Structure 1
């Protein structure tokens, strides 16, 4: 009985945690799918973009992917919809930033940085974790990757780009 109650409390805590969000500023970009956000309360969050897997830095298009993400989010205010943590202790989340051309005093944080990476052909939609995304996000990311492939954008310029999860196993 105690185990069942403990499991229920853990699940409830995870649900509350998954529904939370963080507002802050991006103070670091590790690669094409990982950023560091400094919250308004000066807490650092290492965020892995939910539903995205970008080329590793030593992999083809790895540096381009990092630069594109950095150009989009570095030094910018963001809102992160937290989805829990990965096995490395990084937060998983959907990072929302203002559209790059916005000139308003307070631009709405509506551009999904992960989706932008996929749209540019600088990341894969991480199908293996599609169940962790909303149905809408999974469909949107899948379509973005399909379009990037069709238009041969970014890493899709090569005939058979190596997915990062395959590259990591080899290296």
Structure 2
């Protein structure tokens, strides 16, 4: 009798582990850039995730495509665990993504020189040390003499867009003014 009970409870225990194992794992179905990916939940819902505490170069910035490729190679098509922190202003889930073996994608990006620690949102000493090691070893983006942080790159792009809009508005104003002037001169 005890042998049958043991086998019964062992089967129940194994079943619980098997069921529980898949409920918190997501499949990586897309990598938008180095620090943004699309996960498929166990309920077949897509979740766009922005990796917390790290910032990769933008796609059209130096090492942007390399960061995206690194992230893809590391986790595309694999099952991962999502440790969500919150949502950002774009509706993306912000969090840490871990491979099944516990490897943090966030930390691997910084460790291999494909991301900065995003100091505005992170106080992690571990990330700071990983970034310092990558800098010293001139890994990834640290091969450049003076790499531009993505937050500065984005500011520059925003400023260029604003200046372009301003120039366009001035041209439109001048055209309207010259037409008005022609109309008044013609009479």
TM-score when scaled to structure 1? 0.77
* Equivalence for 1:170: 156
* Equivalence for 1:118: 110
Gaps of 5+ in 2: 1-22, 158-187
Rg: which structure is higher?
A: 2
Question: Counterparts of 1:111 and 1:73 in 2: how far apart (Å)?
Answer: 10
* Equivalence for 2:76: 74
User: How many positions carry a matched residue from both structures?
Assistant: 135
Instruction: Tell me the alpha carbon deviations over residues 99-135 of structure 1, each in whole angstroms, 9 at most, x when there is no partner.
Output: xxxxxxxxx3x0000100001100000000015xxxx
SS in 2 for 1:48: strand
Structure 1: which 4+ aligned runs deviate by more than 3 Å?
none
* Equivalence for 1:161: 147
Report the RMSD for the aligned CA atoms in angstroms. Answer: 1.2
* Equivalence for 1:65: 67
Within a 5 Å distance, the mapping from 1:1-171 to structure 2 comes to 22-98=24-100, 108=101, 110-130=102-122, 138-171=124-157
Query: What is the deviation of 1:22?
Result: 4.8
SS in 1 for 2:121: helix
Question: Counterparts of 1:91 and 1:139 in 2: how far apart (Å)?
Answer: 23
* Higher-helix-fraction structure: 2
Gaps of 5+ in 1: 1-20, 99-107, 132-137
Instruction: Tell me the alpha carbon deviations over residues 20-42 of structure 1, each in whole angstroms, 9 at most, x when there is no partner.
Output: x9521000000000010001101
> Are the counterparts in 2 of residues 22 and 82 from structure 1 also a CA contact under 8 Å?
no
Q: Which structure is richer in relative contact order (CA contacts within 8 A, separation 6 or more)?
A: 1
